[in-house]
A and B are shown apart, each in its own frame.
Chain A
């Protein structure tokens, strides 16, 4: 879809470059516009980008390789805890972030293989159940690893986590460059944007590669893929490992931005949330997945900020809690999606074909 559009645009290079420039300028100006409404919105944007990173990671596993993973948030958690343990007073270790993020990605990757290896023969519902269990096990470990040796500090979580710092430049403090005031969240925003860009490029390039085709082949017909010489074990593990590393990196950044993490952030609901983003946006299509992540991150926040004042203004009191409305809308959205856009808001070509059968 976007591919065709881009090919069409390539014939008009000027139009393409104007489009790219417009998007780039919008993205660069966006945090200042959001900051004008309130710094909270920049933070919400940052979380939305983090979720987009997660969704893109999960998209490799679910969208490309077709392996349903309901415990994906565990890798986010592993990345977050890796960062927290190596850059906080918990153990008194304070490594720089550029050293920890790769470690976090690697540890998450190991966990990905740990989950992938025993589940290779499982498909569909069975795989979903095992991955769901895996997610819960990891969360429960975070919760209970305060004894006998205190590693994770249990349910209290880990606080005072170091922010990203390069020399004297710290990401959590305001600073001004050329008369422009850059607050902490705005600095993180630009960093996240860079990471997102990198992950998008990686995803796009993988999609049209030998590996991407192998993933698609095992999703279509694993038996035939094996007979064509694809080592299905290897390729599936690779999908798990790649997806997990992206989750690990996102987790590390999350740790640094929040400065505090606890097992609560890595529960089943979060896993389902990320999966919903992938499914809502359009499995297998990078742009759809990002759209899904942004929508599901922003809509609840907008509701939170509008529903209560609106009701107080109309009725003078709060009749329906924002949380209830959020769930009602979720249900409604789910039904409408099933009816009108079963392949997602912005589906990949291939998925659309599959669901149209």
Chain B
């Protein structure tokens, strides 16, 4: 296996608060990598720095063998990292299908002229966008709701739609911010199957998750953040037994 994403000494501070301190980690191609830690440990901050939402104060990312220029969110998406959001951020008043079609934006090219003149190329591309989007809805299992507005979908389907929209950008790395938050046991179980299938189809997954059972059952490796520092990394079972982790994350009561 080769490394897909390497984060070197990533630092981020907000005023006097060190949200991330020298976080170094490497994600292998084809694995599901979990990022866990107590609330406020800096997991989402790491996501936001990685995906260009705010600039890092130090460190660098190496993605797919080249330095990742984290200048703007759209550039990161173009490089091949797609993300979902902790609090779902769909285009609420667009249909499920349209949401996924927007995800195709970064891999398609039609501009104003193509659209206005309806060139053969633009029309072919538009058809391809439509087909691709539809296929992705089938893939995540919500094709029957393609014409419903995103904000009318049930919660679990909204999560799936967000994943489908992210997959539409053809990411090499899919970064999911608490995809199981608010899901019941059945929904979590189907989500787990979906994520395994996505990985099986060749997309590497970076996962922030609070559901310990899901993380332990799904991830190949996990890193634990606490107060912006990586305190452990390794196979889930090993990390689970690590006294530092038990102390910081699972709480003293379990020790």
Contacts and interface: CB of A to CB of B under 8 A. Distances in A.
Q: Do A and B make up one complex?
A: yes
Interface of A: 201-202, 205-206, 209-214, 216-217, 220-221, 223-233, 238, 242, 350, 353-354, 357
Contacts of B83: 227
A214 B105 contact: yes
Contact of B115 (A212, A225, A228): A212
B82 A227 contact: yes
B112 A242 contact: yes
B103 to A, nearest CB: 5
Interface in B76-120: 77-78, 82-83, 85, 89-94, 98, 101-108, 110-112, 114-116, 118
A210 B105 contact: yes
B74 interface: yes
Interface string B50-94: 011100000000000000000011100110001101000111111
B149 interface: yes
B239 interface: no
Contacts of A224: 85, 89-91
A226 B169 CA distance: 12
Contacts of B151: 357
B48 to A, nearest CB: 10
B90 A228 contact: no
Contacts of B149: 353
A217 B112 contact: no
Contact of A206 (B53, B105, B116): B116
B122 interface: yes
Given A226-B77, A228-B169, 4 more contacts: A221-B91, A226-B72, A227-B74, A353-B149
Contact of B93 (A211, A238, A350): A350
Given A210-B125, A227-B82, A232 B112 contact: no
Given A230-B74, A231-B72, A209 B102 contact: no
Given A220-B94, A224-B89, A227-B83, A211 B111 contact: yes
A170 B110 CA distance: 39
Contacts of A201: 116
Contacts of B230: none
B195 interface: no
Given A209-B122, A226-B73, A220 B91 contact: yes
Contact of A220 (B51, B92, B106): B92
Nearest to A217: B102
A227 B129 CA distance: 18
Contacts of A212: 115
Contacts of B168: 228
Nearest to A238: B112
A211 B112 contact: yes
Nearest to B83: A227
A224 B92 CA distance: 11
B229 interface: no
B112 A229 contact: no
B233 interface: no
Contact of B110 (A211, A233, A353): A211
Nearest to A352: B93
A210 B74 contact: no
B220 interface: no
A353 B91 CA distance: 12
Nearest to B92: A220
A233 B74 CA distance: 10
B75 to A, nearest CB: 8
Contacts of A217: 91, 94, 102, 105
B126 interface: yes
A128 B147 CA distance: 34
Interface in B187-224: none
A233 B75 CA distance: 12
B115 A229 contact: no
A230 B78 CA distance: 9
Contact of B108 (A210, A226, A238): A210
29 contacts: A202-B116, A205-B118, A206-B112, A206-B115, A209-B110, A209-B122, A210-B104, A210-B110, A210-B126, A211-B110, A211-B112, A212-B115, A216-B91, A220-B92, A221-B92, A223-B73, A224-B91, A225-B91, A226-B72, A227-B73, A228-B166, A229-B74, A229-B77, A229-B82, A229-B103, A229-B105, A350-B93, A353-B93, A357-B151
Contacts of B108: 210
A205 B116 contact: yes
Given A206-B116, A220-B91, A227-B83, A232 B74 contact: yes
B74 A226 contact: yes
Nearest to A209: B115
Contacts of B106: 228-230
Contact of A225 (B85, B93, B102): B102
B126 A228 contact: no
Contacts of A206: 112, 115-116
B160 interface: no
B165 interface: yes
A267 B119 CA distance: 40
A350 B150 CA distance: 12
